[in-house]
Structure 1
Amino acid sequence: MDSSYGNFSYSQQRSTQSPMYRTADSSISSVSRGNGFDRSAEVSSLAFKPTKQLMAPDQQRKFSGQSSRAHTPPSFASLKGSLGGSRSGEAFGKFASSVMSEHGDEHRPHLPHAMPGLAVGTATSSAHSAEDQLKGSDPCLVEMVTTEIVQQGPPLDWSDIAGLELAKATIKEEVLWPMLRPDMFSGLAALPRSILLFGPQGAGRVLLGRCIASQLGGAFLRLSGSTLVTKWLGEGEKIVQAAFLVARCRQPAVVFISEVDMLLSAQLSEESPVNRIKGELLMQLDGVLTSPEEHVLVVCSTSKPEDIDESLRRYFMKRLFIPLPDSTARQQIITQMLSQHNYCLSDKEVALLVQRTEGFSGLDVARLCQEAAVSLLHAMPGADLTTMLPSQLRPVTYQDFENVFCKIQPSISQKEMDTYTEWNKMFGCSQ
């Protein structure tokens, strides 16, 4: 967790029961401090239970012991065609970070330090009410939400995301702090409980959503607007309702909705079946915005902010532009990607790569590095890869990058970037 939270004695509480982030037995302390939410409630009180197997001890140690190498949790890679499945244009990996703590996602909020201003009883009552509603829901639907929309994986730190310093600072200061320390923000105007992240694909919006959940020590639920209006059109509104019920049971929780423009488009006709999903989503957003005692945060993402009905922009109290990576961020990505391979590039050649990737998204830069590394294998058509050791491959050189620049071009046009910049000037919060 960001060190700034340590000033108020906030560290993520560890849990031996959490189906989201398990930790090795050796790291469990009999006395632990939380970020304001008690995970000690019994799991049996939940109206539903995930059926996915908890991570094995060796996997727990793997997640809790890694600090600088990029790693992708198996559950992310295995979700195909699901509501929470990762889009290729949304995330581009992780970067070097300090040792990350394991977080739990139990459902009952409680403040062990008795900080003033946190409505513990009301939030707990909300969780119980959500449990009661889940008991009457379709078990198969709840099972699908629990296993596919609730995403599992190791926690993220801000340093795992290259660049985006303005967006990260805004989220920490104006979204996370009010949730973690409501006693310090009492009496102020309505605090942000729903935010919109907009910008080009592959810039790191999903990573930001996952990091927010990690900083809250909460569950991360991911919905896809495109999947809701295609594959799950007939059941879309029920899935949205169930997802928010699960979030309230597991609060603190982050509900992340990608491609939200497909649900809130101004182009929807009155007869469109998508309107049922839209109506349910707006009702849930109203519930979140009018229930400040609940610890549920809605993070929506879009690469087409101009398509969102202008009358619905008011639902997003913070609208943050997530731009392409600057030169410093691109250098971080390139360095991290190269660290996973044997390479032979001088500082001058790395600087030249950073210069030549101007206008690339984070995903574009990552693909460029991957293509350069794979090109080594293409240059060995007769080699037996089944018996070859990684040490037998020659180092990646600048010439390998030179050879693949013709294949990997920026996926975002300057016209698109101009559109984002103009929309940000008019409606964004990070001008």
Structure 2
Amino acid sequence: MMITADLIWDENLDNDCEVSKDIWEDDTFIDKSYLKVVLPSYDGVDTPIVYHFKLNDDLKINSIKIPTNSIGNLGKFGRLNTCSLEAVSGEPPVLKEIIIKIDERLYDKLALLPKANEKKQYFQIKYNLVNKQSVVHEGNIWGHVCEVVETKPFSQGVIDFSVTDIVLIRSKILSVANKHDRTLVNLQAFHNLSRIPLKCLHYPVERSLLLPEPPFDDDDSIYVFFPYDLLSKLKISSGSFVRLSNSKNSVLVRAFLLQSPNHYVVDGIYTTPFVLAQFDELPLVEVEPVYNNELVFPTASEVVISKVGNVLHTQKRYQELILQKLRYYFLTARRILSNGSLIPITIDSSFDEIILDDIDLDVNTIKSDDDCIVWFVVSNSKFENISNYDPKAEFFVDPKHTKLITSAMENKSLSSNTFNSVLKYYGLPGVFHYRPDIFPVVNDIKNVINTHAEANKKVPNLPMILNLSSNVPKVGKASILRSIAIDLSYQFVDIDTLSVVFSSGSSDIATTFLGYLKGKLENLLPFTGNTIILIKHIDHILKKVDQNQDIQQSRQVKALEGDLISFIKSYSRIYPGVVLAFTSASIDNLPEGFRSEIKFDYVVHPPNEKQRRSIIDELLSTSDLFQKYGNRKLRIQCSNEIDISTLSLHSAGLSPYDIQYIISLAVADSLRKCNNYLLWRQNKIKVDMISIQNALEKVRSDYSASIGAPSIPNVTWDDVGGLSSVKDAIMETIDLPLKHPELFGSGLKKRSGILFYGPPGTGKTLLAKAIATNFSLNFFSVKGPELLNMYIGESEANVRRVFQKARDAKPCVIFFDEVDSVAPKRGNQGDSGGVMDRIVSQLLAELDGMSSDGDGVFIIGATNRPDLLDEALLRPGRFDKLIYLGIADTREKQANIMRALTRKFKVSSDINFDELVSDFPFNYTGADFYALCSDAMLKAMTRISKEIDEKVDKYNQDNGTSISIRYWFDHVCSDEDTDVIVKKEDFLNANKELIPSVSQQELEHYKQIRANFEDSK
């Protein structure tokens, strides 16, 4: 049971807290050694802090004294003075590891101590840490020179000096010593009091954080929170009214102290979306005091509120819900408004008028499910017995005396600079911000839209039509346009053609779709100004059709195409600020007439490595990640071990949607792990690298078959034996372009093609995988039959898709196994359609493109017959590095292969591989050695199984029992009994039975091919 107590901060306490006598004698605290303290939070997340507590008879009744060093982001002034307490049953868990960042001078002194135990003794004595009693928390600051940055496996627990490891991180003094003075350090932001940054609160502030506590009907939408130092500098008391103003706007607000601790970066003042919306741009404001004689506001007798242009306002199904939420907004407080005030209202779009007709809506029950926001603006106001009232002045809206009238929509522009922060305040889904320097397509579209807006001022009625195409679903086409609309302060309307159900018949398609489109836009566009209208999957209803094959469908498409073109021209003339955008799999799928109307086409590829790093970094931003868990809200914290660079590399080829799904899986997995330990994790879900990697592997395994996602193999140089001679050539071809791309920036074309040739089974595929693993490259294996398709042109298209997937997944290796089946000599094939010749030509064209736009894509081919390849493949710039992989022709190479293949075996200690291979023939390939080792392991397992049968029989004879082999395994045998140790005799017996896959005559033939092939080059 939680109780509320007065909070006292003490800098002299080390680790334990002290409680007053009445709390000490409370029934729930008797016989308890630990309690948890919950501080009021500005982000809605309770962070319980556990302390070992003791009695202090001198404390006033119902009070607790806690050490300041237990809170990392605590300011010197303006601290919280109340908290909630609850006794903790049981003992805290023991921490396995504590990571401490310490001052560099202290670090150097501790480094001189020869033993780790001496370092532990220093912390134990210096900071009064009681073994198995003192609770250590993440964020602890000891002596202004040590900061606990992470504790494992929990966020808080006791230290056991015999078990807990202490890891020290060297740090400069300012990063730790000024931790308590964070607000003072950032006070530089307030050096100009006429230009103070105004920012949005992260979460609605609970009443317990308001000092002094205001009346229950006070207008909470005008609250602004000031750090202590700024309030002192402005000589403003908490709870007083002030006026925020800049050159364009002025808003009356109520100032409150932003108490410490909090998670805000104190470089501005924080307010609600209501106050923020009254300023046109990201505001820098001046704060002016308001005196009591200025706070006499009249109560309006009538207020007219207009809807701000938004697609939700035009849909009848939401009207009753919006009005209910608007009514609730005015019923809960006496609002202070003025003419022109913008009012945000959030709604749950899953509710509709059918539900509202059936139930008596309680807005509180659906508040947490709101997913979108609409705006209203105060258009006019009237007052009784007041004739000359200033139209810009504030007034009260009293639900008991003020008549509210809602009118039609009004065209009102909204500031986009704080859009995501407003969404975060209400807990609504955010919009990913695409940085133009990382996503070039975003910058290109922005420039085109801005140019169109400028050109329209000189030459009106210019249509603006875009198409974003991608063969990869969920690649972010709609979110790119939504992000651009926010950045440019455009309204955004999206229409999905897949959600429009058509009836059969040629006239129905055109009539239904155009009717749906006009019905959604005609009541909206007159009140929205600049608007981006996105019609998704236009190729779903407007396909390029061969009229000779399907006359009826061709007529349907022609009718819709003509009507849609007329619609575009008409709306461009009536609404010049409209940008019409479409998405499709490819612009080539659209009819030629419609394609001619599209001014700009952008192909959106899956994000490259740099873009994936940006996406992952934003998704893992700890300030934005929360998780609902029952009635609680949990903070998601990312482990310091997470390597974003590694994740961005291993997620090659995945779409932003896939990456977001990976993070959600990792969060869910982390929640399952910490479900029973939320108290000791301080209501934090710590996402670690293992959870994300497991989620990444799951997504890859689920979708690799459908999307062809490349992956990084797990084959190292240690797995490759006897091929060390080719390593230098490979390093020159691949390592140099990866590590020094600047060398190829002046027109020098890189060599990115390698051809392995030689007898079968010599390790060509294995070596290609080892290359991909060694350089952390994604591996994409292609076999000839995968490219063939019965339809004309599709085989060449498959080749293009392979290379495009590789570009999307770069750095990447494309491995063409048996490349002679993919690219044989042209003119020698017997197929009537010339399919193979066209595949070869397409492959040559793609290889040529690798030297210019294929940075990070490497091509490796493998063949047994290089003499069958088309000659054009072997010129410089294509497969220009030819490497012969022969058999092991020395005893040393054979021994190295055996060591590589058996490095995970348990082999007898008397085996010497140099001696073992002395009787092996020189026509064994790598595949033959693999077969030999597998057979030797099988023979060892057979031998061990016979020995186990003998041991069981002997055990039964000695003990007069009749146990089964299963019982013997479960209860009698030891680890040594079941160890499979491969002996020399197993290898020799396997060698006797092995038949080489390449005969001596065939080997001579391959050597002759090599000689002829290299002489011709």
Same fold per superposition (TM over 0.5): yes
Tell me the distance in 1 between the aligned counterparts of 2:818 and 2:863. Answer: 5
Whether 2:753 is the aligned partner of 1:194: answer: yes
Q: What is the CA distance between 1:193 and its match in structure 2?
A: 1.9
Aligned to 2:987: 401
Aligned to 1:176: 735
Name the structure with the higher helix share: 1
Cα 1:233–1:224 shift into 2, 3 Å: farther
Name the structure with the higher strand share: 2
Contact (CA 8 Å) 1:320, 1:428: kept in 2 or not? Answer: no
Which whole-Å deviations, capped at 9, do the CAs of 1:219-245 have from their partners, x for residues lacking one? 21110125545xx66654333222211
Contact (CA 8 Å) 2:815, 2:859: kept in 1 or not? Answer: yes
Aligned to 2:142: none
Cα 1:237–1:392 shift into 2, 3 Å: farther
Tell me the distance in 2 between the aligned counterparts of 1:75 and 1:197. Answer: 32
Aligned to 2:936: 372
Paired residues for 1:34-113 under 5 Å: none
Q: What is the CA distance between 1:269 and its match in structure 2?
A: 2.8
Contact (CA 8 Å) 1:361, 1:412: kept in 2 or not? Answer: yes
Tell me the distance in 2 between the aligned counterparts of 1:243 and 1:180. Answer: 25
Contact (CA 8 Å) 1:204, 1:362: kept in 2 or not? Answer: yes
Q: Secondary structure at the match of 2:993?
A: coil
Tell me the distance in 2 between the aligned counterparts of 1:52 and 1:276. Answer: 40
Cα 1:385–1:316 shift into 2, 3 Å: farther
Residue type of the alignment partner of 1:340: K
Q: Secondary structure at the match of 2:820?
A: helix
Whether 2:874 is the aligned partner of 1:303: answer: no
Paired residues for 1:256-295 under 5 Å: 256-266=815-825, 267-269=828-830, 271=832, 272-289=834-851, 291=852, 294-295=855-856
Aligned to 1:151: 711
Tell me the distance in 2 between the aligned counterparts of 1:342 and 1:159. Answer: 17
The size of the alignment, in residue pairs, is 333
Tell me the distance in 1 between the aligned counterparts of 2:653 and 2:723. Answer: 37
Q: Secondary structure at the match of 1:405?
A: helix
Give ranges in structure 1 of 5+ residues lacking alignment.
Answer: 1-11, 19-23, 65-72, 80-139
Q: Secondary structure at the match of 2:923?
A: coil
Whether 2:891 is the aligned partner of 1:327: answer: yes
Q: What is the CA distance between 1:360 and its match in structure 2?
A: 1.4
Aligned to 2:801: 242
Tell me the distance in 2 between the aligned counterparts of 1:312 and 1:179. Answer: 23
Cα 1:215–1:428 shift into 2, 3 Å: farther
User: Pick from 624, 628, 642: which aligns with 1:28?
Assistant: 642
Which whole-Å deviations, capped at 9, do the CAs of 1:34-64 have from their partners, x for residues lacking one? 9xxx869999865988999999999x869x9
Residue type of the alignment partner of 2:885: I
Which whole-Å deviations, capped at 9, do the CAs of 1:200-230 have from their partners, x for residues lacking one? 222222232223333443321110125545x
Q: Secondary structure at the match of 1:151?
A: coil
Tell me the distance in 1 between the aligned counterparts of 2:652 and 2:984. Answer: 56
Residue type of the alignment partner of 2:763: G
Cα 1:50–1:197 shift into 2, 3 Å: farther
Give ranges in structure 2 of 5+ residues lacking alignment.
Answer: 1-608, 618-637, 674-688, 950-963
Q: Secondary structure at the match of 1:299?
A: strand
Tell me the distance in 2 between the aligned counterparts of 1:189 and 1:43. Answer: 28
Q: Secondary structure at the match of 2:897?
A: helix
Residue type of the alignment partner of 1:316: F
Tell me the distance in 1 between the aligned counterparts of 2:652 and 2:906. Answer: 48
Contact (CA 8 Å) 2:867, 2:1013: kept in 1 or not? Answer: no
Q: Which of the two has higher C-alpha Rg? A: 2
Q: What is the CA distance between 1:276 and its match in structure 2?
A: 4.0
Contact (CA 8 Å) 1:223, 1:256: kept in 2 or not? Answer: yes
Q: What is the CA distance between 1:392 and its match in structure 2?
A: 2.5
Q: RCO greater where, 1 or 2, for CA within 8 Å and sep 6 or more?
A: 1
Q: What is the CA distance between 1:344 and its match in structure 2?
A: 2.5
Tell me the distance in 2 between the aligned counterparts of 1:302 and 1:50. Answer: 40
Contact (CA 8 Å) 1:213, 1:253: kept in 2 or not? Answer: yes
Contact (CA 8 Å) 2:898, 2:913: kept in 1 or not? Answer: no
- Is the deviation greater in 259-268 or in 278-287? 278-287
TM-score, structure 1 length as denominator?
0.61
Which whole-Å deviations, capped at 9, do the CAs of 1:80-132 have from their partners, x for residues lacking one? xxxxxxxxxxxxxxxxxxxxxxxxxxxxxxxxxxxxxxxxxxxxxxxxxxxxx
- Residue identity (%): 23
Contact (CA 8 Å) 2:757, 2:866: kept in 1 or not? Answer: yes
Which whole-Å deviations, capped at 9, do the CAs of 1:380-406 have from their partners, x for residues lacking one? 479588775774256322222222223
Contact (CA 8 Å) 1:342, 1:396: kept in 2 or not? Answer: yes
Contact (CA 8 Å) 2:769, 2:779: kept in 1 or not? Answer: yes
Tell me the distance in 1 between the aligned counterparts of 2:895 and 2:1005. Answer: 26
Residue type of the alignment partner of 2:779: F
User: Pick from 136, 142, 162: which aligns with 2:721?
Assistant: 162
Contact (CA 8 Å) 1:218, 1:250: kept in 2 or not? Answer: no
Q: What is the CA distance between 1:350 and its match in structure 2?
A: 5.1
Residue type of the alignment partner of 1:201: P
Tell me the distance in 2 between the aligned counterparts of 1:196 and 1:237. Answer: 22
TM-score, structure 2 length as denominator?
0.28
Aligned to 1:411: 997
Q: What is the CA distance between 1:317 and its match in structure 2?
A: 1.1
Q: What is the CA distance between 1:302 and its match in structure 2?
A: 0.8
Cα 1:346–1:260 shift into 2, 3 Å: same
Contact (CA 8 Å) 2:755, 2:860: kept in 1 or not? Answer: yes
Tell me the distance in 2 between the aligned counterparts of 1:339 and 1:201. Answer: 23
Contact (CA 8 Å) 1:337, 1:366: kept in 2 or not? Answer: yes
Residue type of the alignment partner of 2:856: H
Cα 1:265–1:362 shift into 2, 3 Å: same
Aligned to 2:977: 392
Cα 1:385–1:207 shift into 2, 3 Å: farther
Contact (CA 8 Å) 1:264, 1:278: kept in 2 or not? Answer: yes
Q: What is the CA distance between 1:257 and its match in structure 2?
A: 0.7
